[in-house]
Amino acid sequence: MKTIKGPAIFLAQFAGDAAPFNSLEAIADWVAALGYKGVQIPSWDARLFDLDRAASSQDYCDEISGMLAEKGLVITELSTHLQGQLVAVHPAYDAQFDGFAAPAVRGNPVARQAWAVDQVKKAAIASRRLGLNAHASFSGALAWPYFYPWPQRPAGLVEDAFDELARRWTPILDHFDEQGVDIGFEIHPGEDLHDGVTFEMFLDRVGNHPRANILYDPSHLVLQQLDYLAFLDIYHERIKCVHIKDAEFRPNGRMGVYGGYQSWVDRPGRFRSLGDGQVDFPGIFSKLAQYDFAGWAVLEWECALKHPEQGAAEGAPFIARHIIRVTDHAFDDFAAGGADRALNRQIMGVGA
């Protein structure tokens, strides 16, 4: 068995214009001092990372890796969550997602999609140059506005949407295969891949592509009231990335899963800092150990109550405390007597 690596931290929610959050080197010093050993880098944030340069220059990638190594850090994965979202955007969300794109392609959905595909492909090349074997992203969505079956959906609408989603992603997955890198699609509401069934629908349409995999984040499953431990039992072979994020679901007489259009702080389902929610992390880390997950435990901080710096400071020891150093022998090996077929037959009462 393998021991999961960590603690690591996703930098997206901490990057900003003020020091130490405005450069990779400065934020690396900050997270290293907190006890983190790895960083997941948002590839869209130019304050931290130059994706175009990373895709074209091995020297740049070596410089980044070397700088982080001097601080005791490694890159766990690159992320293209925002660019992946733009691979497939329903027109209802054009205005909301347009800001994710480069200024030159905003307001032009066709150009925006082409830009997004190019970005995700560049991330595959950059990942290979950095020696990474997994990548974090979103699938985007064409069917999400119709997730609730009212009004009645036209026959074949969902199937056609998933056919188109697979058509867009298949050449990207092929490109990742050429680079030797897996994509972990974060299973997340707002994406067409938002639970196990939808992941299977997509996987079937991309021919069970070996690079089409999962980023597991239990918080999004809690908010859907999905069994997040059973999810690990079912999909562990496809889980290549893990976000360690807490959540809680406290329904009441007025609101449930859909949240009544309320803000995050007032919704029954909301994200919390590690240890403040309801997620069974001992159960999760036990299953990750059981299923030989060899990747990183990456904190993603999103909490409507706690300050991010407190959440980050508490996150590293929380993850370190939950990582299971897997055993290299069975606890009862001391009692093993070796195989004795004659004795076995005697014990079973089987004749000689």
Q: What is the DSSP string of 149-208?
A: --SPPPTTHHHHHHHHHHHHHHHHHHHHHHHT-EEEEE--TTSS--SHHHHHHHHHHTTS
**CA 150 – CA 234 distance, rounded (Å):** 30
Q: How far apart are CA 302 and CA 285, in angstroms?
A: 20
pTM of this prediction exceeds 0.85: yes
Domain that holds residue 258: 5-348
Count the domains in the chain.
Answer: 1
Q: Mind listing the pLDDT tens digit of every residue in the chain (352 residues)? A: 789 999 999 999 999 999 999 999 999 999 999 999 999 999 999 999 999 999 999 999 999 999 999 999 999 999 999 999 999 999 999 999 999 999 999 999 999 999 999 999 999 999 999 999 999 999 999 999 999 999 999 999 999 999 999 999 999 999 999 999 999 999 999 999 999 999 999 999 999 999 999 999 999 999 999 999 999 999 999 999 999 999 999 999 999 999 999 999 999 999 999 999 999 999 999 999 999 999 999 999 999 999 999 999 999 999 999 999 998 877 777 767 677 888 888 889 887 5
CATH number at residue 322: 3.20.20.150
Instruction: Give the phi and the psi of residue 337 in degrees, each rounded to 5.
Output: -115, 5
Helix, strand, or coil (residue 322): helix
